[in-house]
């Protein structure tokens, strides 16, 4: 199905850089659709993709390595602009007959560059007014002689060629990484490449996506019925809202209450989807089943497995009761697609260590419907807002599949889950009220099943401990503790101790990842 929003596409050929996903995100921020493909994408597929422009990513190799990665020469003959970043720069320099020098020392981190005296529509966006700029470098090799017809547009402090161009041929190259936040005006540079150099028109928008995906889902599904596991998280919520618009009554959602949800979560999901939007949602109360299977189990991995398997069992049993279902909808998003493609092609730089529990088995015999497969998380959120979902739902922090099961250390008991739910609700409310919620990537409370002594009024208390955690992170692979204001922490601790009987001590976790993880189990 062709559509206006996919009418202009940028192709990103991946040489294994850790930043390739960031290139794609920057292109999407410029409102143009793009896809990442391996550097050795077959020629016929490149032609069929019909890109408006091509970006060659960086990569950890040197162009002098044995079996170094190369692209099909066709890439330079399509008549569309090409931007080479880092390794991509070295590759195209050699392709056009220039020289690259291998260097034993790697230039890594911030570097200063300046423009040489020459107007350049692309580099003017990076270095306006001929000023110096700060960029992010990460490579050993560099260009020593540009190919004929190319001019050097920018240079680093140490005299390294930082930017090259041959506007006549439509080929541009940079030694640094414009896609990384540390590069000043890097976003403007990419935006200029996409919209001025490649001539794209900003066709990729949330409203366009919603319109397209509604028509697309209708066409895919026809009169069939579709099943969706609704968790209350952002991705499945957006899928529910989108499919409800597309196919209405043909969609049935199953929401499993495993006893490990946050305070009032089940009621809120039902209020938003069933009552407010009229989505068909079956709420399954499986709390006793989950909690009884978890009784006496303390090992974190065992707990995860029990929760995952029980979820599948409950979900499948519910699915069997609904007749005529042919499709299973899932909230798969573009980073998941890239990661599994990366794992297959051996460019495994970005493989995540966690996969959602709730990954349902193939033997259900249902066809997969994944309407968010093309979107990054921030795009999913924009689509959620476009569909009218509440902001609080759309900007909710990630919540792990095993829920409070991994936030109650050791054995899970209903009593502990109740303490934790109430303490966490106070913490999160205070973060919202003080404007800190959206500044943190993830914030939650952990229940510690140990008792400590305190004084309450005239008496002595001997009660449980909770730890508050809040982290800043972009990719959840590394994280730092959020510098929460002390007064706010004191206020939250007082409220928890006063309002949640059974808890008499609150601590704040200041561990980074690594060496810690974000969750405690």
Task: Tell me the catalytic residues.
Answer: 86, 177, 179
Q: What's the min distance (Å) between Cβ of 306 and ligand XMP?
A: 12
Q: Is 408 in the site for ligand XMP (CB under 6 A)?
A: no
Contact 175, 137 (CB under 8 A): yes
Q: Which of 143, 183, 261 is nearest to 26 (CA)?
A: 183
Beta-strand relationship, 142-145 and 99-101: antiparallel
Identity of the residue, 148 or 353, whose beta carbon is nearer to ligand XMP in the bound complex: 353
Maximum alpha-carbon separation in the chain: 86
Q: Which two tokens stand for residue 340?
A: 């599994």
Q: What's the min distance (Å) between Cβ of 517 and ligand XMP?
A: 3
Q: Which of 494, 466, 469 is nearest to 482 (CA)?
A: 469
Identity of the residue, 23 or 518, whose beta carbon is nearer to ligand XMP in the bound complex: 518
Q: What's the min distance (Å) between Cβ of 513 and ligand XMP?
A: 5
Q: What's the min distance (Å) between Cβ of 441 and ligand XMP?
A: 8
Give the C-alpha separation, 50 to 338, whole Å.
20
Give the C-alpha separation, 98 to 139, whole Å.
18
Among 96, 401, 421, 484, binds ligand XMP (CB under 6 A): 401
Q: Is 476 in the site for ligand XMP (CB under 6 A)?
A: yes
Identity of the residue, 59 or 402, whose beta carbon is nearer to ligand XMP in the bound complex: 402
Q: What's the min distance (Å) between Cβ of 355 and ligand XMP?
A: 7
Within positions 270 to 309, which residues make up the interface with ligand XMP, using CB under 6 A? 304
Judged by DSSP in three states, 36 sits in strand
Identity of the residue, 461 or 511, whose beta carbon is nearer to ligand XMP in the bound complex: 511
Q: How many residues line the site for ligand XMP (CB under 6 A)? A: 15
Contact 266, 259 (CB under 8 A): no
Q: Is 342 in the site for ligand XMP (CB under 6 A)?
A: no
Identity of the residue, 342 or 403, whose beta carbon is nearer to ligand XMP in the bound complex: 403
> With CB under 6 A as the contact rule, which of the stretches 49-57, 62-70, 103-111, 354-362 interacts with ligand XMP?
354-362
Judged by DSSP in three states, 454 sits in strand
Q: Which two tokens stand for residue 314?
A: 């409950």
Q: Is 356 in the site for ligand XMP (CB under 6 A)?
A: yes
Instruction: Give the CA count within 13 Å in the CB-facing half-sphere of 293.
Output: 20
Q: Is 446 in the site for ligand XMP (CB under 6 A)?
A: no
Contacts of 220 (CB under 8 A, 6+ apart): 369
Give the C-alpha separation, 63 to 91, whole Å.
6
> With CB under 6 A as the contact rule, which of the stretches 18-26, 190-198, 352-360, 504-512 interacts with ligand XMP?
352-360
Q: Which of 324, 375, 315 is nearest to 221 (CA)?
A: 324
Identity of the residue, 56 or 406, whose beta carbon is nearer to ligand XMP in the bound complex: 406
- DSSP structural state of residue 83: E
Residues that bind ligand XMP (CB under 6 A): 304, 354, 356-357, 398, 400-402, 406, 442, 476, 513, 517-519
């Amino acid at each position: 199905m062709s559509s206006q929003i996919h009418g202009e596409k940028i192709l990103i050929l991946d040489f294994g850089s850790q930043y390739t996903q960031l290139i794609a995100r920057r292109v999407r921020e410029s409102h143009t659709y793009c896809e990442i493909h391996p550097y050795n994408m077959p020629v016929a597929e490149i032609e069929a993709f019909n890109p408006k422009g091509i970006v060659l990513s960086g990569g950890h190799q040197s162009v002098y390595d044995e079996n170094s990665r190369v692209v099909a020469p066709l890439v330079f003959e399509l008549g569309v602009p090409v931007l080479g970043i880092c390794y991509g720069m070295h590759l195209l320099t050699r392709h056009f007959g220039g020289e690259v020098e291998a260097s034993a020392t790697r230039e890594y981190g911030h570097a200063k560059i300046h423009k040489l005296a020459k107007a350049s529509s692309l580099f003017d966006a990076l270095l306006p007014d001929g000023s110096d700029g700060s960029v992010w470098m990460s490579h050993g090799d560099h260009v020593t002689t540009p190919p004929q017809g190319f001019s050097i547009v920018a240079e680093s402090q140490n005299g390294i060629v930082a930017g090259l161009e041959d506007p006549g041929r439509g080929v541009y190259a940079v030694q640094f990484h414009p896609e990384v936040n540390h590069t000043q005006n890097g976003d403007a540079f990419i935006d200029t490449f996409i919209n001025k150099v490649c001539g794209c028109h900003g066709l990729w928008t949330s409203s366009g996506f919603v319109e397209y995906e509604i028509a697309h889902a209708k066409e895919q599904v026809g009169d069939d019925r579709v099943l969706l596991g609704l968790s209350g998280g952002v991705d499945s919520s957006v899928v529910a809202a989108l499919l409800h618009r597309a196919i209405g009554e043909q969609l049935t959602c199953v929401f499993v209450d495993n006893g490990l949800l946050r305070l009032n979560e089940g009621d809120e999901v039902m209020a938003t989807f069933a009552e407010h939007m009229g989505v068909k949602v079956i709420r399954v109360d499986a709390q006793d089943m989950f909690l009884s299977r978890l009784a006496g189990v303390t090992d974190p991995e065992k707990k995860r497995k029990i929760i995952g398997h029980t979820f599948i069992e409950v979900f499948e049993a519910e699915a069997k009761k609904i007749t005529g279902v042919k499709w299973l909808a899932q909230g798969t998003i573009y980073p998941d697609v890239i990661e599994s493609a990366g794992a297959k092609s051996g460019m495994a730089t970005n493989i995540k260590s966690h996969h959602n529990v709730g990954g349902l088995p193939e033997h259900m015999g249902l066809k997969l419907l994944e309407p968010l497969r093309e979107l990054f998380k921030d795009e999913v959120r924009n689509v959620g807002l476009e569909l009218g979902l509440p902001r609080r739902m759309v900007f909710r922090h990630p919540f792990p599949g095993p829920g409070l099961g991994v936030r109650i250390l050791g054995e899970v008991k209903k009593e502990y889950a109740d303490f934790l739910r109430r303490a966490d609700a106070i913490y999160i409310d205070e973060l919202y009220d003080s404007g800190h919620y959206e500044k943190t990537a993830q914030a939650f409370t952990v229940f510690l099943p140990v008792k400590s002594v305190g004084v309450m009024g005239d008496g002595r208390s001997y009660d449980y401990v909770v730890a508050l955690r809040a982290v800043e992170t972009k990719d959840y692979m590394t994280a730092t503790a959020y510098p929460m204001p002390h007064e706010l922490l004191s206020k939250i601790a007082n409220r928890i101790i006063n309002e949640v009987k059974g808890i008499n001590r609150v601590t704040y976790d200041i561990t980074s990842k690594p060496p810690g993880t974000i969750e405690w189990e």
